[in-house]
């Protein structure tokens, strides 16, 4: 049975620097699985017992107690608990404008999302979050502090590799710069060519690098990111489809509607009606 705990205090800004969404714990049933699918937030599973399989960025890994894995927003992933010895795991989910920047200080990537989870404060993170959530008016501050404490431990455990300019440290920096650019300018009429020029990189080189690190080309990532933002606006606001189209970088609302339906399977209006 899965146990979920949601952060009771939503952030005051629509795009907080860092925000803990929820956490939980589950003794998985045999063969319990997620995906293949995507989410729009970061999620980390800490494996306390049992075994299972993770598929991400075209690679398959068998994971067991003492390990953890990170799933990235808008990146397709599949994981399944073993049928004989299913996972017992806990998890945290978070988002925020600084999440990507902070994770870029580690060696984790969509292609390399696994790390050891047998040290402080990871082993007892679930229990500590539960304790913080009961702290009344100070709960939101304690939960935020706990998330930063965990990320600090993650940077210590999995520091970004220090290599030459042609090594993975520089490679990750290029991709991190690309992601920051896309997240900052998705609401504008931008292209991969413009991004490459801004970052002073060859377009083909940047596209190949981006796909190797994230599993998708930058054009597809930008499309998925825009549609995720549009879907959120359709649910949370009363903006017209044309206003939302312009808010995510489309001057042509008909083109936006076609692209939204291609990605989400419904027209913007139908999506709003179903999810409201």
Please tell me the number of Cα atoms within 13 Å of 143 on its side-chain side.
27
Q: Which listed CATH number (3.90.1490.10, 1.10.274.10, 1.10.10.60, 2.102.10.10) goes with 220-275?
A: 1.10.10.60
Asked whether residue 10 carries a pLDDT value surpassing 60, the answer given is no
Per-residue pLDDT tens for 78-117? 999 999 999 999 999 999 888 888 898 888 888 889 988 8
Averaged confidence pLDDT in the chain:
86
What is the C-alpha separation between 160 and 43, in angstroms, rounded? Answer: 20
| φ, ψ at 89 (rounded to 5°) | -140, 160
Biggest CA–CA distance in the chain, Å, is 53
Between the CA atoms of 261, 228, 170 and 210, what dihedral angle is there, to the nearest 10 degrees? -10
Strands (E), 84-152: 88-95, 114-116
> Would you call 54 helix, strand, or coil by DSSP?
strand
Ranges of each domain in the chain: 2-157, 168-215, 220-275
Q: Is the CB of residue 274 less than 8 Å from the CB of residue 266?
A: yes
Task: Read off the pTM.
Answer: 0.60
Tell me what pLDDT residue 168 has: 46
155-201 residue pLDDT tens? 888 887 654 444 444 456 788 888 888 888 898 889 899 999 988 88
Q: What's the token pair of residue 192?
A: 């991969």
The larger pLDDT score, comparing residue 267 to residue 170, is at 267
Q: What CATH code is assigned to 2-157?
A: 2.60.120.280
């Amino acid at each position: 049975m899965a146990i979920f705990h949601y952060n009771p205090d939503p952030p005051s800004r629509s795009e907080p620097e860092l925000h803990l969404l929820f956490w939980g714990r589950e003794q998985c049933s045999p063969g319990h699985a997620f995906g293949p699918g995507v989410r729009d937030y970061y999620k980390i599973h800490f494996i306390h017992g049992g075994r299972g399989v993770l598929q991400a960025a075209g690679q398959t890994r068998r994971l067991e107690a003492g390990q953890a894995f990170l799933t990235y927003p808008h990146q397709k992933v599949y994981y399944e608990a073993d049928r004989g010895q299913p996972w017992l795991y806990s998890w945290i989910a978070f988002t925020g404008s600084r999440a990507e920047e902070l994770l870029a200080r580690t060696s984790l990537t969509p292609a390399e999302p696994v790390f050891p989870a047998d040290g402080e404060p990871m082993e007892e993170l679930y229990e500590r979050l539960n304790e913080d959530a009961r702290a009344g008016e100070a709960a939101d501050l304690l939960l935020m502090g706990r998330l930063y404490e965990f990320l600090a431990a993650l940077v210590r455990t999995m520091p970004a590799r220090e290599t030459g300019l042609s090594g993975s440290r520089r490679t990750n920096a290029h991709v991190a710069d690309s992601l920051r650019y896309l997240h900052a300018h998705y609401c504008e009429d931008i292209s991969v060519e413009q991004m490459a020029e801004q970052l002073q990189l060859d377009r083909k080189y940047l596209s190949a690098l981006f796909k190797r690190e994230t599993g998708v080309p930058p054009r597809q990532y930008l499309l998925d990111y825009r549609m995720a933002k549009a879907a959120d606006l359709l649910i949370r606001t009363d903006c017209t489809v044309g206003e939302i189209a312009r808010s995510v970088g489309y001057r042509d609302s008909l083109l936006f509607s076609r692209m939204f339906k291609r990605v989400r399977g419904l027209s913007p209006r139908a999506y709003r009606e179903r999810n409201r």
